[in-house]
Every structure is written in C-alpha cells, then in structure tokens.
C-alpha cells in the first residue's frame, strides 16, 4: 500500500522535470553555441558544453555589429508603445469599468473584432497609408501601428484591474467635492499600480516580439528593430552561428525580465484577449 | 405665484442639464483617444484592404491602381499554390492546436496539486511563452540544422533518419519543424488557462467524491472534465483562429519552402505583399481568408446555440 503513492510522486516529479527540460533545452542550446569559440563549433558539434567557453561572440556583436542600434531601436519602439498604450488603455478601461453608456456595447464589439481578424490583412493597406506620410522606415510609424494593435487587449486588461477596486472609494471623494477625473487620477490610478505595471509588461513583450509589420515597414539598417536586424543578419551571414546566437541571447534578455514582472498576472493577461499568444 | 416658481425653477434646472450633458459625455471622452486610434489604424486600413482586392495595386508599378473587378478572384480560383496553402493551413492549425492542447492539459494537471518547488517549476515551464516568436523560430531552425543543432544527430542515432539531415529542407517533413516550434511555444498558453480553470474547481467536490468511493479516473471524468469543458471549448476555438493566422514561425523558419510545402494562407498573403509587392492580389487572398474565418466563427455560434437548445 505504501509503495504506490510513492511511485506516483516519483512519476509526477519526473514528468515535471521532462517538461522543464523540454522548455529550457532550446534556450540552453542558444546560450551554449553563443559561448562556443568558432574553432570548437564544428569539431565538438553536439557536445553538451564546449571544452572551452568564451564571450568572444558577445564581444563582437556588441562592438563591431549594428546590433546595439537594433537593440536601442527596439527599446525605443517597445518602451514608447508600452507607455502610450497604458495611458490610453487606463482611460478607456476606466470608461468600460465605471460607466454605463449607450455606445459601450459597440465599443466592446469593435475591440473584440480587432482581436479576431487576421492582422496580416492590414500589412498592405497600412504600408500604403503610412508611406505618403513619411512614416514608413520610421520608428514613429511603428509605434503608432503597435499602439493601435495593443490598445484593445490592454483596455480589457485595465478594465479587469479597475473592476477589482470598490466604487465607494471615488464616490466618497466626489462627495467631498472632487471631480470624477481627479478621483480617478489621485485615488484609483495609484491603487491600480500593479495592474499598470503588468499592462506595461504585456504590451512591451508584444511589441518586442512583433515581426511582420516591422519587416514590411522598415527597410534600412538605421531604423531596424531587433527582429528585422537579426533576420537580415541571418540571411546575409548565415555561417556565423556563434554571433547570431549571441545576438539571440541579447534579444531574449528584455523579454525574460518582463516575463518575471508579469508572471503573477499571466492568467488575467491571457483571458483579457489573448495578447500575442 | 406659479409664474415666480417657474422663473426661479429655470436657472435651477439649467445647471443639472449642463452637468447631465457633461456626465453623459464623460465615458466618451475617456474612450475617445483609444477609439480614434483603433478606427484610423485598424478599421480604415481594413476597409481599404477590402477595396484593394478589386483593384490592380502593385507597389513598383506607378500605372497600377485601376479597378479590375473580380480578376484577382478568378486568378485565385486557378492558383494551385493557394489551394496547397489552404491544405497546409488545415494541417498546421490542426496539428499545432491538438498537441498544444494535449500537452498543455497534462502540464496543467501536473501543476494543479501543490508540491515543493511548484512556483519555480511553473516559472520555468511557462518561460517559452515569453520568448519572442521570431527568436523561437530561429532557435528551432538552428536546432534542426545539422551543422550546429543536435536534433538531426539524435534522430540519426535513434534510427529515425538514414543520415543527419535538416528536416526543414525535406519537403515531406518540413511542416513538422514549425509545428514542433509552435507546440513548444504554445504549451504554456493552454497550461496557464487550463490551470486557472482547474484551480477554480471547488476542492470539497473531490473530497465528497472520494468519500463516496470514486477512484482518481472516475473523479477526473465526472468532476474535472465537466468543469473544464467550457474553458477547453473556448480556448481551443479562439486558438484555432489565432494559430491559423500565425505566420511568424513559418516565415522565419522556412519562408514557406521547400517548394511551398510549408506555405500557409497567412504566410502566402505576407509573401505576396512583402516579396512580390502585389498588394491587390494579397488583399484578395486576405479577403478569402477573412470569409473563411467568419464562416468558421458562424459555425461555432450555431453549434453553441444548438448545444444550448438541446439541454
């Protein structure tokens, strides 16, 4: 009788370990090739760890390639998108959470619609619209596009955070003579700070990962974001595996940092409208 | 008296009217910036894109732009590459959703009971979700590459392959590359959603059931599954739409090749717009995709109605 639960526990832990191994192995391999010196890359092929590790690829990528520029561009685009989306979504999320108005149904329907149709449909028309405005090959253009794409989901996310705060708080403030906007800014927003941080994290990660529109809208090296730069590097120098993977590790860093930030809110974020996945 | 009362009543009721208008406008003012942005950056291009489907729009040809009626759709009806992309989309979506769901459900069940180190295990297994999709694609493309990746050598050692080749350049197997990458990347999504639903099941139900002598399998079938069913249905339906539109991994890993064997409709649209700069044709395919997705969504709504009316 005693042995059976014990075996089950062992099987359970082994299954968990198998999942962890499967989840981490690709990232581990990325790191492993990134620290393998070129002369060992082919001779030691599939060894689990090279006999000699070095940071030469990181050194090269950081000092002699355009990746720091790509990294900076991606930071600017994702950071600005995250901030602007969070401001807009706080306002619209507050409207959905606290008011009952005639257009509410249509507003929600419109936002749900934008989550359902294939965004790849918009690649051509958006290019055609932005091009005469000088917003192709420009980080501003990307920020505008990403902001619009992320506002609907961020609105639902912020709404869910506002819904968790009792209405009495701003009603009390309004009885004391504050306008609703002042109550919103001075009482409700500070209470929603964790939610705001989570929204920033989600939008940043989504913008950092976006590929198709940045490929379409950006052509030069100066304005390239990380995915565009990495893919053009891959197609041009497809033999420098060490450098490519070192660049890949760099692209992973912000994503992982923000993942830690939003980890507690994953469920809320995913149910708010299926961010990027 | 009445006259006076009316006179004094007027200014008193004017302020509430003004305030009422201001109050009525408030929600619109709060949502206006988001709404304006969505309409100009998403709705207007959507309508414009629909109109492109009936026009000859090629970026590099300044004389294009004429209205050509249904020509694109006639060309599409005879486009073998499009039919192949449709079949590939079914295969890609079906296999990805199936494996993501099965492995996601198992993972959620494994993480449901508290154990030592659960927080850490959860953070580690959910990590792939945070990896940018372009990097996930590149990462797996490298793992499949016999020069730097271990997978072909392992497959060879296991006798699955006669020599360590890249499956991404094998027309028969290439689709498995993006599917595996997609499963790796998408398991956390299903696991997170299903885990949340699992933990919402009242614990005393299980206790009552085991007191009544129900075994683990019976408990799973008669408590867990019925409680999870709505979440499972909604998640699978939404993910199906999302994954059928998800072209990032394919564009990064195979670019639709070899010989269009991994081209799905979404990546075909992107290729037409991005590589051939034929915006008109790309929009025509996009319109067909939109119609198919709408039909699928309608089917779900009807199915749901039918299921509800049966109860």
Yes or no, beta carbons of A33 and B148 under 8 Å apart: yes
CA distance B17 to B3: 21
pLDDT for B6 beyond 50: no
Q: Are residues B4 and B153 in the same domain?
A: no
- List Cα–Cα distances, A190 to A23, A34, A107, A195, B110, in angstroms: 37, 43, 26, 10, 37
- Selecting from B110, B133, B134 the residue whose C-beta is nearest the C-beta of A12 gives B110
How many whole angstroms from its chain centre is CA B40?
Answer: 23
pLDDT (0 to 100) of residue A20: 95
Which residue in the set B33, B125, B150 is minimally distant from A23, CB to CB? Answer: B125
Of B35, B131, B147, which has the smallest distance from its Cβ to A252's Cβ? B131
* Contact criterion met (CB < 8 Å) for A128 and B289: no
Residue B26 falls inside a structural domain? yes
* Angle at alpha carbon of residue A203, lines to A202 and A205, rounded to 5°: 65
Q: Do B289 and B180 reside in the same domain of the chain? A: yes
Instruction: Read off the DSSP letter of residue B247.
Output: -
- The answer on pLDDT for B12 being more than 60 is no
Judge whether B123 is closer than 8 Å to chain A, CB to CB.
yes
pLDDT band at B114 (very low <50, low <70, confident <90, very high): confident
**B121 has pLDDT over 60:** yes
Q: Is residue B36 in a domain? A: yes
CATH number reported for the structural domain that contains residue B171 in this entry: 1.10.3720.10
Domain range annotation of chain A: 3-54, 66-271
Residues 6+ apart with CB under 8 A from B115: A12, A13
At residue B11, the pLDDT reads 47
When scoring A246, A260, A277 by the number of chain B Cβ atoms within 10 A, the one with the most, hence best to mutate, is A277
Chain A residues with beta carbon closer than 8 angstroms to that of B270: 120, 123, 212, 216
Q: Is residue B152 a contact partner of residue B161, using CB atoms and an 8 Å limit?
A: yes
Kindly report the nearest CA distance between residue A99 and chain B, in angstroms.
Answer: 6
User: Domain limits at B140?
Assistant: 80-310
Q: For residues A227 and B134, is the Cβ–Cβ distance under 8 A?
A: yes
Residues B86 and B35 in one domain: no
Nearest to B190 by CA among B95, B300, B108: B108
- Please check whether residue B75 lies inside any domain of the structure: no
Question: Mapped to the 3 state alphabet, what secondary structure does chain A carry?
Answer: CCHHHHHHHHHHHHHHHHHHHHHHHHHHHHHHHHCCCHHHHCCCCCCCCCCCCCCHHHHHHHHHCCHHHHHHHHHHHHHHHHHHHHHHHHHHHHHHHHCCCCCHHHHHHHHHHHHHCCHHHHHHHHHHHHCCCCCCCCHHHHHHHHHHHHHHHHHHHHHHHHHCCCCHHHHHHHHCCCCHHHHHHHHHHHHCHHHHHHHHHHHHHHHHHCCHHHHHHCCCCCCCCHHHHHHHHHHHCCCCHHHHHHHHHHHHHHHHHHHHHHHHHHHHHHHCCCCCC
Residues of chain A falling short of pLDDT 70 = 1-4, 45, 238, 271-277
Q: What is the pLDDT of residue B14?
A: 55
CB of B110 less than 8 A from some CB of A: yes
pLDDT digits (tens, 9 = 90+) for B260-306: 899 999 999 999 888 888 889 999 999 999 999 889 888 887 887 78
Residue B102 resides in a domain:
yes
B298 contact residues in A (CB cutoff 8 A): none
Which residues in chain B (201-220) have CB-CB distances under 8 A to chain A? none
Under DSSP, the state recorded for B141 is: H
- For residues B34 and B94, membership in a common domain is answered with no
Please check whether residues B87 and B29 belong to one and the same domain: no
Please work out, in degrees rounded to the nearest 5, the angle formed at the alpha carbon of residue B192 by the alpha carbons of B188 and B197.
150
Q: What's the per-residue H, E or C state across A158-215?
A: HHHHHHCCCCHHHHHHHHCCCCHHHHHHHHHHHHCHHHHHHHHHHHHHHHHHCCHHHH
- Is it the case that residue B241 has pLDDT exceeding 80? yes
In-domain check, residue B69: no
Closest alpha carbon within chain B to A101 = B27
Q: Does residue B72 form part of some domain?
A: no
d(CA A142, CA A80) in angstroms, rounded, equals 10
pLDDT score recorded for residue A238: 65
Q: Do A258 and B270 touch (CB under 8 A)?
A: no
Residue in chain B nearest A89 by alpha carbon: B34
Instruction: Mutation target for A interface from B26, B38, B281: give the one with most A CBs within 10 A.
Output: B38
pLDDT of amino acid A272 = 66
What 3-state DSSP class applies to B55? strand
Contact A230, A244 (CB under 8 A): yes
Q: In Å, how far is B175's CA from the nearest CA of chain A? A: 19
Of residues A208, A263, A199, the one with CA closest to residue A230:
A208
Residue that the structure tokens 């010196």 belong to = A37
Residues B244 and B134 in one domain: yes
- Residue that wins the pLDDT comparison between B17 and B123: B123
Contact B286 A26 (CB under 8 A): no
Taking CB atoms and an 8 Å cutoff, what residues of chain B touch A22? 184
CATH 1.10.3720.10 fits A66-271, yes or no: yes
- Residue among B45, B111, B130 minimizing CB distance to A259: B130
Q: Is residue B60 in some structural domain?
A: no
Q: Is B198 on the interface with A (CB under 8 A)?
A: no
**B46 plus B86 within the same structural domain:** no
- Which of B42, B195, B245 is opposite residue A114, by nearest beta carbon? B42
Phi-psi region of A186 (alpha: psi -120 to 50; beta: other; left: phi over 0): alpha
Kindly list the residues from chain A whose CB atom is less than 8 angstroms away from the CB atom of residue B132. Answer: 205, 208-209, 226-227, 251-252, 255
Q: Residue A50 in contact with residue A35, Cβ under 8 Å?
A: yes
Task: Give the contacts of B126 (CB within 8 A, at least 6 positions apart).
Answer: A23, A259, A263, A266, B188, B191, B192
pLDDT of residue A164: 86
Q: How is residue A71 written in tokens?
A: 């990294």
Chain segment B130-181, per-residue pLDDT in tens: 899 999 999 999 999 888 888 988 988 888 888 888 888 888 889 999 999 9
Q: CB-CB: which of B188, B193, B270 is closest to A212?
A: B270
Which is nearest to B96 in space by CA: B256, B245, B260? B245
B132 and B261 housed in the same domain: yes
Query: Do B36 and B177 fall within a single domain?
Result: no
The number of folded domains in chain B is 2
- B66 within some domain: no
Mean pLDDT value across chain B: 87
Supply the pLDDT for residue A276.
41
Return the H-helix or E-strand segment holding B277. none
| DSSP string for B143-203 | HH-TTT-SHHHHHHHTTSSSS---GGG-TTTTTHHHHHHHHHHHHHHHHHHHHHHHHTS-H
Å between B307 CA and nearest CA of chain A? 23
């Amino acid at each position: 009788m005693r042995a059976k639960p014990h075996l089950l526990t062992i099987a359970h832990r082994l299954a968990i370990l198998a999942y962890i191994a499967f989840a981490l192995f690709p990232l581990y391999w990325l790191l492993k090739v990134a620290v393998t010196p070129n002369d060992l890359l082919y001779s030691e092929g599939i060894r689990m760890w090279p006999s000699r590790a070095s940071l030469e690829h990181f050194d090269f990528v950081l000092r002699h390639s355009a990746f720091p520029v790509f990294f900076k561009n991606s930071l600017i685009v994702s950071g600005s998108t995250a901030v602007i989306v969070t401001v807009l979504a706080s306002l619209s999320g507050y409207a959905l959470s606290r008011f009952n108005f005639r257009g509410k149904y249509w507003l929600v329907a419109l936002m749900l619609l934008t989550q359902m149709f294939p965004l790849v449909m918009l690649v051509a028309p958006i290019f055609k619209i932005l091009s005469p405005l000088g917003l192709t090959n420009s980080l501003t253009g990307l920020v505008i596009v990403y902001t619009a794409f992320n506002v609907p989901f961020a609105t639902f996310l912020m709404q869910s955070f506002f819904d968790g705060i009792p209405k009495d708080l701003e009603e009390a403030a309004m009885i004391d003579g504050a306008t609703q906007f002042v109550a919103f800014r001075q009482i409700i927003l500070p209470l929603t700070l964790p939610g705001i941080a989570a929204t920033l994290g989600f939008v940043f990660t989504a913008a950092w990962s976006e590929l198709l529109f940045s490929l379409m809208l950006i052509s030069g090296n100066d304005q390239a974001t990380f995915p565009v730069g990495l893919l053009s590097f891959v197609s041009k120098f497809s033999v420098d595996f060490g450098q490519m993977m070192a660049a890949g590790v760099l692209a992973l860093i912000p994503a992982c940092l923000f993942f830690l930030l939003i980890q507690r809110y994953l469920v809320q974020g995913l149910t708010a409208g299926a961010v990027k996945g | 008296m009445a006259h006076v009362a009316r006179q004094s009543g007027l200014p008193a009721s004017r302020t509430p009217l003004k305030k009422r208008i201001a109050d009525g406008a408030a929600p619109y003012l709060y949502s206006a910036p988001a709404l304006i942005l969505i309409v100009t950056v998403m709705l207007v291009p959507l309508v414009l894109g629909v109109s492109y489907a009936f026009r000859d729009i090629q970026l590099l040809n300044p004389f294009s732009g004429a209205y050509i009626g249904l020509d694109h759709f006639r060309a599409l009806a005879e486009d073998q590459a499009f039919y192949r992309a449709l079949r590939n989309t079914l295969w890609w979506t079906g296999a990805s959703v199936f494996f993501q769901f099965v492995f996601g459900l198992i993972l959620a069940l494994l993480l449901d009971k508290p154990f030592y180190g659960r927080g850490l295990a959860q953070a580690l297994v959910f990590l792939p979700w945070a990896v940018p999709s372009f990097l996930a694609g590149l990462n797996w493309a490298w793992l499949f590459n016999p020069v730097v990746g271990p997978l072909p050598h392992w497959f060879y050692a296991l006798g699955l392959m006669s020599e360590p080749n890249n499956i991404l350049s094998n027309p028969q197997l290439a689709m498995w590359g993006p599917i595996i990458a997609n499963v790796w990347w998408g398991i956390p999504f299903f696991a997170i959603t299903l885990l949340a639903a699992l933990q919402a099941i009242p614990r005393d139900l299980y206790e009552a059931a085991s007191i009544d002598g129900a075994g683990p399998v019976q408990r799973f079938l008669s408590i867990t599954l019925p409680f999870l069913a709505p979440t499972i249905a909604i998640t699978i339906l939404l993910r199906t739409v999302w994954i059928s539109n998800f072209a990032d991994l394919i564009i990064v890993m195979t670019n639709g090749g070899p010989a269009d064997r991994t081209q799905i409709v979404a990546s075909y649209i992107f290729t037409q717009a991005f590589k051939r700069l034929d915006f008109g044709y790309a929009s025509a395919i996009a319109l067909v995709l939109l119609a198919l997705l709408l039909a699928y969504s309608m089917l779900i709504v009807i199915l749901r109605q039918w299921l509800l009316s049966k109860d």
